[in-house]
Chain A
Amino acid sequence: MRILSVLFFFVCTVANAQSFVYETSEKQSFKLRVGHYSEFQYIMVNRTDFKHNSLFDIDENTRHFIIPFNGYYEIEAFFNFNPDTASIKENRGGINFGLVHIRDGKEQYMASTRYTFDKTNQNKYTPVYVVPTIVYLEKGDIIAPAISSGYINSHLFYAHIGCDKQTDDCVSFSFKIKLISVEDGHSDFF
């Protein structure tokens, strides 16, 4: 009886609204180089900006977001991004933003957004959304938010996420992950 009660509690707890929410207004810069499209530049996170966590097992030694259960997860992210290419006339290109899945050393976007800029927005903040996406993840998988250079015609040495000075309570970067089902499935992100 006691074992069944514990099992009942476990199933309900695991399957119901286990989630993680991160939100920050910190600025972070990236050096995006032509041709380095497969090189992920990971977002640094601060523990003080964890807004909610009922998903990850995190202590002072934790260095990665490690998936605790096999299951389907819903993920989304937001970047307030400025390519900051004021020194280059009529710059343009496409930059990738997303959440990277890491297993056995292999890194790939599991949810991502292509942001394209040209002369009209090469020197200002643009909100970039990775819209809610459902993926199947396995216990032990690592996930991490990242930016990569995509297709650009010149190096971007001052690209950054951040906030306009005039704006109060601005969000420069956020991401959410929520376990939506513990049933069996398979991983395939494209």
Chain B
Amino acid sequence: MDIRTFFSLFMLMVFCGTSAQESTFYARSNRSIPLDFSESNRQCVSFTERDIVYNKIIRFEENKIQIQQDGLYEINAFVNINLGSYATRHDSLQLRFSVIKNPNTSSEEKLAETTYMYRFGNFDVAAGFQIRPFHVTLRREDEICLCITKDFGTFDINSNDKYHHIITPTGMPQIMGLRIKKED
């Protein structure tokens, strides 16, 4: 076998190995986060560098998740939230978990959302919010963000700033995650 054949085969192997990596981004929070709705009913949460598990497609700078290439994407996410509150039998509070494109800009758009209403007995039990995979067309430099909105409530969430609401539920370590996959 001459050197040219060897080199060609080597390049093919490298190409095959590289192309087999899926064009995906996955981040999960490994730290708890407090929520505060005293000034605004919406709080957006971000990941840090150490939260990134796998990234082949996203520009991640200053904790912002930015799309690098126009195209069709599949996105899913989850968060676990414990209000840490006590209230009466007649109280309730509803939170909304959303995937937002370009938050706080003129091109802001809600891409997907899910809600959960806390009722008597569940005010101090962590609830999971899941956004199942959905497809969306995104453009280069679009920013993707996860936000939590208080829709309504007849009582305040635990106002102690040492209490973290996005937190591990009893018996499981997962807190919050986001997956973005570029469709070919």
Contact = CB atoms under 8 A, between A and B. Distances in A.
Given A116-B122, A118-B119, A180-B21, A94 B133 contact: no
Contact of B54 (A4, A118, A119, A134): A134
A58 interface: no
B144 interface: no
B128 interface: yes
* Interface SS of A by simple majority: strand
* Interface SS of B by simple majority: mixed
Contacts of B172: 96, 98, 109, 112, 114, 148, 150
**Interface range, B side:** 35 or more
A123 to B, nearest CB: 15
Interface in A111-125: 111-116, 118-120
Given A132-B179, A188-B30, A118 B122 contact: yes
Given A8-B9, A118-B119, A190-B30, A149 B171 contact: yes
A109 B21 CA distance: 25
A129 B125 contact: no
Contact of A113 (B53, B78, B116): B78
Nearest to B170: A151
A190 B130 contact: no
A98 B6 CA distance: 46
Interface of A: 1, 4-5, 7-8, 11-12, 15-16, 37-38, 72, 74, 90, 92-94, 96, 98, 108-109, 111-116, 118-120, 129, 131-136, 148-151, 153, 180-183, 185, 188-190
